[in-house]
Structure 1
């Protein structure tokens, strides 16, 4: 089996050396970089299967790098894990909103980091259930191919997380999605994020859906679902 390639970008050599040591011990092929400004070119030439990024780096932040990578067709789907000292809830939300797949605060456990990397790569490799590219409920049309949502033909300006949240609930119309389940499947098991984060995103999503927000039903004390019948917004 071909070794998975991982790129580690952090301005502290001690961190990249430590991470590389533990990943290589698990059989990964690892490249490290301590210069953020070279990270984009390195990622394009190396084509890693997964990228680990610090956030606070000189000249170019991990958030900026993540957004650039997500806009590159050849790297857009490469999982990104933030490894950073910025560990407040709002920092985690910003990191995940920028397109990252996971977020681990410093100081960190190398063993936990490796487990998270392995879990993400397993999830990607697992066969996926076929899902419809387009889902329409009421006047809401979600198109996974174009990563867009429209209401009566008007395109909604959704964040990546809002899109994932809406798609998950639309795919499972009629089934209750607990807050914990949504955290696991939308925020990729970043359980450090409080469940009220889900409530905040659902509230913003409802505001953007306008008079179609009545499809999103609150199940008190449990979570949310896309109802089989539209309720008054």
Structure 2
């Protein structure tokens, strides 16, 4: 687990005042920070900088944040990178679009530095908790390897984005136990991270598309379970 001083954060926003605010607060906290003013520059900078966290605006010129996130998630080296969207658009459809693109979190403007720093610390705690779990789960024909964030189904290797993988691993660690959406949000995203309950549905659907429909069962009116029946 990296310490704050070794964490690399890429700030992506076309508003120089926001970039300056975030750069000041993050470097003061001990983070190593780079910046970009649009999605295209963000991708180029990410390849060279290799950030642990990307804080990215949604509405930007040249290439918006949603499109940039999709492109980053297609690159193996950024499938586990935390991507947090920054936006003034608080409508639910914007948040769903962000998670569809592969975002981990969603923060509305105006940004409160203390709240943002708390959010980043929450990710660090979640990462630390993951270290104490079994490295490999073998169940129902799947092999879930926490060290490589890979899922093996027979001879097929399936790479999932970070939150999709953590959601699958959490459910598989307690097969046939039903979890509500709120329980999944608290255990996978953490209590310090605000996301809507529909986020779980989006991630479950994307996991099913990649590993098969049969592994995660919907319990109507309750939630989800990893199915071994």
**TM-score computed with the length of structure 2 as normaliser:** 0.75
Please tell me whether the aligned partners of residues 54 and 84 of structure 1 are also in contact (alpha carbons under 8 angstroms): yes
Inter-CA distance 45–148: structure 2 relative to 1 (3 Å threshold): same
Structure 1 counterpart of 2:47, from 33, 44, 48: 44
Please tell me whether the aligned partners of residues 219 and 225 of structure 1 are also in contact (alpha carbons under 8 angstroms): no
Tell me the equivalent position of 2:226: 226
Alignment deviations for residues 2-38 of structure 1 (CA, whole Å, 9 cap, x no partner) = 4422110101101111111221222222222224322
Inter-CA distance 188–70: structure 2 relative to 1 (3 Å threshold): farther
User: For residues 217 and 164 of structure 1, what CA distance do their matches in structure 2 show?
Assistant: 18
User: For residues 15 and 120 of structure 2, what CA distance do their matches in structure 1 show?
Assistant: 20
Structure 1 counterpart of 2:127, from 124, 127, 145: 124
The question of 1:73 aligning with 2:76 is answered yes
Inter-CA distance 186–209: structure 2 relative to 1 (3 Å threshold): same
Q: Which runs of 5+ in 1 are unaligned?
A: none
Aligned pair count reads 222
User: For residues 24 and 162 of structure 1, what CA distance do their matches in structure 2 show?
Assistant: 30
Please tell me whether the aligned partners of residues 10 and 34 of structure 1 are also in contact (alpha carbons under 8 angstroms): yes
Tell me the equivalent position of 1:169: 171
Q: Which runs of 5+ in 2 are unaligned?
A: none
Q: How much does 1:78 deviate?
A: 2.2
Structure 2 counterpart of 1:99, from 97, 102, 105: 102
RMSD value, Cα: 3.6
User: For residues 205 and 47 of structure 1, what CA distance do their matches in structure 2 show?
Assistant: 26
The structure that has the greater radius of gyration is 1
Q: How much does 1:130 deviate?
A: 4.1
